Amino acid sequence: MVTADAAHTQRETAEHIKRVRGFDYFLVAKGNQPTLADSVFKKILPLLKHAPAHSVTERGHGRISRWETWDTDADGIDFPYISRIACIRRRVYAMAGECVSKEYAWVLTSSADATAKDFHVRIRNHWGIENKSHYVRDVTYHEDANQAYVGSEARVMATLRNTAIGIFRVNGLNKIKEATQWICRDRDRALLLFATQRDRL
């Protein structure tokens, strides 16, 4: 199974994943594919009046998160190898019960056997990757504010950020912001991460 950001929800990508590589895909339709997203939305919309096929509620970090998934076949939707589609609604509540945020994801897959639970698990796992990589790179290293746009500079800087995050995690330092600040206060501390001794913050 292959999951990818919405930017990769392209016909050529789906063709390559399924026909060339032989994998199934789980892709998200957003504004970069307005016709596709609209067709998925219209097909799923009547289902939202009914109970979801899969629901998960979790408490943690001072909030309550609820994920609800509706799924159906993809008949009539024009996209390579598409077999099933789903809507995942995520609502976040304060501990007192009021809803503080709500978002929808429109998901498509080439897997004919995919269930609502499969959609939930695949997309949650993909979001977990994004939170561990893209979110950290933006919040800690301010990647989105980076002005390196010439040649391969942006790619090189992203590689260096990923390398730093990887080195921290290999050494058991999962609080990337605190680890970065710890290194910045004394750059010689970085040497500890390459030695056999693994100090902790």
| CB-based burial, 76-89: b 16+ in 10 Å, e otherwise | ebebbbbbbbbbbb
Pair 20, 74 in one domain: yes
Residue 158 lies in a domain: yes
Q: How far apart are CA 21 and CA 169, in angstroms?
A: 31
Domain enclosing residue 184, as ranges: 143-194
Pair 99, 39 in one domain: yes
Pair 80, 17 in one domain: yes
Pair 39, 83 in one domain: yes
Residue 63 lies in a domain: yes
Structure confidence by residue, pLDDT tens digits, 69-124 = 999 999 999 999 999 999 999 999 998 888 889 989 999 999 999 999 999 998 88
Structure confidence by residue, pLDDT tens digits, 139-156 = 677 666 666 666 777 778
Q: Give the lowest-confidence range in 10-14, 24-28, 41-45, 148-152.
A: 148-152
Pair 35, 108 in one domain: yes
Q: How far apart are CA 116 and CA 85, in angstroms?
A: 9
Cross-sheet strand order for the sheet of 25-29: 2-3, 25-29, 99-109, 84-94, 63-73, 54-60
Angle between helices 176-185 and 153-170 (to 10 degrees): 100
Residue 37 lies in a domain: yes
Q: What is the pTM for the complete model shown?
A: 0.66
Pair 14, 69 in one domain: yes
Pair 102, 168 in one domain: no
Residue 10 lies in a domain: yes
Residue 183 lies in a domain: yes
Residue 188 lies in a domain: yes
Pair 7, 76 in one domain: yes
Residue 136 lies in a domain: no
78 Cβ contact list (under 8 Å, min separation 6): 36, 39
Pair 77, 19 in one domain: yes
Phi-psi region at 159: left, alpha or beta (left = phi > 0; alpha = psi -120 to 50): alpha
Residues 120 and 89 sit within 8 Å (Cβ to Cβ)? no
H or E stretch at 84: strand 84-94
Residues 9 and 34 sit within 8 Å (Cβ to Cβ)? no
